[in-house]
Structure 1
Amino acid sequence: MSKLRYLLPALLAFGTTQGAEGSLEQRVQRLERILASQSLLEMLTRLDQQQRELATLRGTLEEVRHQIGNLKEHQRTLYLDTDRRLVRLEREGITPERLEADAESDVAEPGRPTPDSGELIAEREMYQNTFDILRELRYEPAIAAFEAFLQQYPDGRYAHVARYWIGEANYARGEYNRAIGAYRALVDKHPDSPKVAEALLKIGYSYHKLEQNGKSRSILEKLTKTHPDTTEARQAEALLERLEKPNA
């Protein structure tokens, strides 16, 4: 509009000096052509600018799409890696290496009153004989033997680990409800046991195997809060991540 304000008087003055060259109507037509050319030029300028902006936006969009593609691929790689590690951990169960490590360690529960040496030796001997059955991967006889051990030493120094191995043997057999019962007995009766974190983790795994993912998530979240910065907590976080993306 500002351009037109200055342009119009000039054109009128020009038309006055050229009065002999045409009628008023001709001068108006000439003026309309000039104004139309000016508007067209402005439109072309705006169009050119918009085209440049659109090209820039397209380039930015392509770059974002590329970044999203890379991010999705990275997430997929992380998920598959987590899934492989989780499957391996779920399948580990009772292995000769774990059994040997436990056999060579002192699995007596800390904080339990120490019985007379003779009674402790008898308890230790019965536990060891029972554990030897498990080392042969004879799950049903081992479960029966550990249950007999608990009947004789329900509050013994090895009761906590006996309950743990009952849970592990049932888990290895696919008896997940029975495994959960044994693990829960360990957690409830032996809260100071070093096996509590492992028991909570396997409860979470067992519920996952039973497709009761709500209960699995609840137990695993409890584990990450009560036993942070542990191997079991990291394994729980891996399963929790998997539960959040069941179809990934």
Structure 2
Amino acid sequence: MKTAISVAVLFTAVSTYAAAPVTDARNSGNKGDLETRLSTLERMIDARNQMQFDIQQQLNQLQREMNTLTGSMERQNHKIEQIQTRQRELYQEIDNKLSQPAVVEPVAAATESTAPVNEKSAYEDAVKLVLQDKQYDQAIVAFQGFISTYPDSSYGANAHYWLGQLLFNAEQREAAKKEFDIVARKYPDSNKRGEALLKSGIIAEYLGNKAEAISLYDQVLSDYPGSSSAKLAEPRVSALK
């Protein structure tokens, strides 16, 4: 607002000064000779020209400042839009997974007959906190306790994957990435590995680690071609390269 007022004032000053008549040297009477009157007239013209030059310089400076401010605002708005878009995508993916227990639980279903009763019960109790009770903070503690108590559990891949999603939902992104990385590294045969690589890549991209994100996306495309994870990774890696 101050910039707009300053520009208006400057334009008014230019218009007023341009409209003001230059004093005619002939109206000065006989007090000076022709050379004196001409000198006075030249000084007045020089003063007017100098004022116009100064005003134009100020206008140019104001315009440069306005252009810089506008460009900066546009860049910031673009960055904010990108961040908000990524947040919405990540939250939507997590919400979808949390609302589809059948998709998240295939490893558990395949191994539940061989898991010890206590181990199975502990795992199911942790899952129940998410799906039924909606107690996400307590679920984080439960999955962390389960992983600590049963480090070699047949539910291990799923437990780390669940924990990664819950930590991300709690805005603990770096901690979430560590859990997804564990799934990708420690459980090469898990059917959650492709999704874990994708999620780890999304978080790396969000955190500004472009090279790591590209590497993770490429790994998804290489190891799981044609999968849903690959279909999500392909446009992301293309946008980064």
Q: Distance in 1 between matches of 2:144 and 2:136?
A: 12
Question: Within 5 Å, which residues of 2 pair with 1:181-196?
Answer: 181-196=178-193
Residue 50 (structure 1) aligns with: none
Counterpart AA for 1:94: I
Residue 91 (structure 1) aligns with: 91
**Do the aligned residues in 1 keep the contact of 2:97 with 2:104 (CA within 8 Å)?**
no
Instruction: Tell me the TM-score normalized by structure 1.
Output: 0.56
The secondary structure found in structure 2 opposite 1:144 is: helix
Question: Within 5 Å, which residues of 2 pair with 1:58-207?
Answer: 89-95=89-95, 98-102=98-102, 105-108=105-108, 115=114, 119=116, 121-135=117-131, 136-207=133-204
Q: What displacement does 1:232 show?
A: 0.3
Q: What displacement does 1:100 show?
A: 4.0
Q: Distance in 2 between matches of 1:180 and 1:104?
A: 18
Q: What displacement does 1:237 show?
A: 0.7
Q: What displacement does 1:86 show?
A: 7.0
Q: 1:88 to 1:232 in 2, by over 3 A?
A: farther
The secondary structure found in structure 1 opposite 2:118 is: helix
Q: Distance in 2 between matches of 1:139 and 1:152?
A: 20
Residue 232 (structure 2) aligns with: 235
Residue 80 (structure 1) aligns with: none
Q: Distance in 2 between matches of 1:233 and 1:212?
A: 20
Residue 23 (structure 1) aligns with: none
Q: 1:125 to 1:86 in 2, by over 3 A?
A: same
Higher relative contact order (CA 8 A, sep 6+): 1
**Structure whose alpha-carbon radius of gyration is higher:** 1
Q: Distance in 1 between matches of 2:148 and 2:97?
A: 28
Q: Distance in 2 between matches of 1:127 and 1:235?
A: 29
List per-residue Cα deviations over 1:7-54 (Å, max 9, x = no partner).
xxxxxxxxxxxxxxxxxxxxxxxxxxxxxxxxxxxxxxxxxxxxxxxx
Instruction: Tell me the TM-score normalized by structure 2.
Output: 0.57
Aligned residues between the structures: 158
Q: Distance in 1 between matches of 2:151 and 2:123?
A: 12
Q: What displacement does 1:176 show?
A: 1.5
Instruction: Please list every run of 5 or more consecutive structure 2 residues that lacks an aligned counterpart in the other structure.
Output: 1-83
Q: 1:204 to 1:106 in 2, by over 3 A?
A: closer
Q: 1:100 to 1:237 in 2, by over 3 A?
A: closer
